[in-house]
């Protein structure tokens, strides 16, 4: 699925303040390498339903057997293994005799301590990878996981590692045996270790995804094969909210355009982002924050939510809105299936101009049948003229006012909202009184 940096930022997949990102929420990996691999995975959406389902099954397999995950491999272990190959030490003896070990300890004391410490962590790493194969490789292991585990099996199937398999801890080895293992690892196994470290990073990324699915009770979506775009969800919510409201959404070729209205703070932006996040996670092979979702594979996801001006280039807010819409139209006319999310179209110009521009854009997008659109606007007046189009669905978020107090239900309703609550909010926050008291 094609997605650009603007959309990733709009949906808070990644964020400069990382603690407020989807990535940070889902990052339950055990190591730095796993975290960076998870970042790469989310930056690289999959290209087919087959690939997605392979990752889904992989995550489900790991989630079902998390208690079997080799805890010998920690972030500290990986760091020691990596630095072992960069450290400058005197030649490690190849023999495993007690005499060779005694001489090395006597004549190369500081190096002996470093090598022994590093070899212990290397032992833990190899042991963990052996257990990974034993615990997770079987005939019915999902293809992506099986491929990596078979590569690991080939890498650790060495006579020199029989001693690792026979013992549970490095402290059970004699000093000579540990030095002999260190000699083999340092001088004959460097490339293999690099490959194993890369493989573990991917395994840890999947482990983190599996833990996130369990922790947040995420649901795996069902992908349907269709030449036409479909998106149906029940119980959808925003993953970053502590107390989210759920939504039901249905978009299909007969009604492929959702026209969304409602007052400021009623929940329009949160809803749009919820849909985008769920579709993004689905295409990454992850579970999604909903009780149920069915969707087709989308070739691309584009958003127009947090448009900004560019002072250094002399580009106004409205100009950049226009450029983003232009780029969107260019994309969605390529015949592929897209999901397009637009929040508060044309905020950067006056109301009359915005109404004319919005109507023109919407009527143009309504001609595109092979993509799905969700568009929010505060310009409810344009809704009346759009009712003649059969493929547009009108929804709004209701707001109640009691004793000058606003009450938001955050529930989607059928129809168009004509709420105008800006002045009421201004008054409620005391700004009107402040101004009148000047």
From 70, 68, 25, select the one nearest 286 (Cα to Cα). 25
In a domain, 16, yes or no: no
Burial (CB < 10 A; 0-12, 13-18, 19+), residue 366, is middle
For the cut 80, the answer to whether the pLDDT of residue 400 exceeds it is no
Q: How many CA atoms lie within 13 A of 37 on its CB side?
A: 20
Residue with the bigger pLDDT between 321 and 22: it is 22
Tens digit of each residue's pLDDT (9 = 90 or more) over 117-141: 999 999 999 999 999 999 999 999 9
Of the two residues 340 and 45, the one the predictor is more confident about is 340
* Same domain, residue pair 74 and 142: yes
Final residue of a structural domain among 215, 236, 252 = 215
Q: Same structural domain for residues 256 and 392?
A: yes
pTM over 0.85: yes
CA–CA dist 6, 92 (Å, integer): 52
- Asked if 324 contacts 307 with a C-beta cutoff of 8 angstroms, the reply is yes
Is the pLDDT at 313 greater than 50? The verdict is no
At residue 35, the pLDDT reads 97
pLDDT, the chain, mean: 90
Is residue 321 pLDDT above 60, yes or no? yes
Q: What is the largest CA-CA distance in the chain?
A: 93
What pLDDT, in 10s, does the model give residues 241-255? 998 999 999 999 999
Q: For residues 236 and 278, is the Cβ–Cβ distance under 8 A? A: yes
Is 64 within 8 Å of 158 (Cβ atoms)?
Answer: no
Average pLDDT over residues 208-219: 97
Cα(321)–Cα(220) distance, rounded to whole angstroms?
34
pLDDT surpasses 90 at 213: yes
How many distinct structural domains can be found in the chain?
2
Residue 381 has pLDDT above 50, yes or no: yes
The range of the structural domain enclosing residue 35 comes to 31-215
- For tokens 């044309």, the residue is 346
| 211 shares its domain with 93 | yes
Q: In terms of C-beta density within 10 A (0-12 exposed, 13-18 middle, 19 or more buried), how is residue 110 classed?
A: exposed
Question: Could you tell me the CATH number of the domain that includes residue 289?
Answer: 3.40.50.300
Model pLDDT, residue 318:
79
Q: Is the separation of the CB atoms in 292 and 233 below 8 Å?
A: yes
First to last CA, the chain: 56
Q: Is pLDDT above 50 for 311?
A: no
Residue 269: both structure tokens together: 């932006």
Q: What is the DSSP string of 335-348?
A: SS-EEEEEESTTTT
The whole-number pLDDT of residue 404 equals 65
Helix (H) or strand (E) holding 164: helix 162-166
Is 329 a member of any domain?
yes
């Amino acid at each position: 699925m094609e997605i650009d940096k603007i959309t990733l930022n709009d949906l808070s997949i990644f964020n400069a303040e990382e603690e407020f990102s989807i990535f940070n929420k889902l990052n339950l990996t055990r190591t730095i390498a796993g975290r960076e691999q998870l970042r790469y995975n989310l930056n690289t959406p999959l290209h087919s339903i087959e690939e997605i389902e392979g990752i889904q099954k992989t995550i489900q397999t790991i989630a079902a057997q998390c208690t079997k995950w080799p805890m010998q491999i920690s972030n500290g272990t990986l760091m020691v293994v990596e630095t072992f190959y960069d450290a400058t030490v005197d030649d490690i003896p190849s023999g495993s005799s007690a005499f060779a070990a005694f001489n090395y300890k006597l004549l190369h004391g500081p190096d002996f301590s470093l090598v022994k410490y590093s070899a212990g962590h290397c032992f833990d790493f190899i042991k963990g990878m052996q257990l990974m194969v034993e615990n997770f490789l079987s005939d019915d292991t999902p293809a992506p996981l099986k491929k990596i585990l078979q590569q690991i099996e080939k890498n650790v199937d060495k006579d020199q590692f029989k001693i690792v398999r026979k013992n549970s801890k490095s402290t059970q080895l004699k000093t000579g045996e540990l030095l002999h293992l260190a000699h083999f690892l340092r001088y004959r196994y460097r490339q293999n270790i690099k490959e194993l470290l890369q493989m573990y990073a991917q395994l840890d990324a999947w482990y983190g995804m599996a833990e996130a699915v369990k922790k947040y009770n995420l649901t795996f979506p069902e992908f349907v094969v269709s030449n036409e775009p479909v998106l149906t969800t029940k119980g959808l919510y925003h993953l970053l909210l502590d107390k989210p409201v759920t939504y039901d959404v249905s978009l299909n070729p007969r009604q492929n355009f959702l026209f969304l209205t409602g007052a400021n703070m009623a929940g329009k932006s949160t809803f749009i982002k919820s849909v985008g996040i769920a579709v993004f996670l689905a295409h990454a092979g992850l579970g999604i924050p909903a009780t149920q979702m069915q969707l087709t594979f989308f070739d691309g996801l584009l958003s127009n939510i947090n448009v900004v001006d560019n002072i250094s280039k002399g580009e106004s807010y409205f100009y950049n809105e226009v450029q983003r819409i232009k780029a969107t139209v260019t994309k969605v006319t390529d015949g592929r299936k897209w999901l397009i999310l637009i929040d508060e179209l044309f905020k950067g110009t006056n109301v009359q101009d915005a109404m004319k521009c919005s109507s023109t854009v919407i009527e143009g997008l309504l001609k595109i049948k092979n993509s799905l659109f969700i568009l929010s606007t505060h310009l409810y007046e344009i809704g009346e003229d759009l009712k003649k189009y059969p493929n547009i669905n009108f929804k709004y978020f209701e707001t109640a006012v009691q004793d000058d107090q606003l009450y938001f239900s955050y529930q989607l309703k059928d129809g168009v909202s004509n709420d105008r609550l800006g002045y009421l909010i201004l008054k409620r926050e005391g700004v009107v009184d402040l101004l009148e008291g000047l």
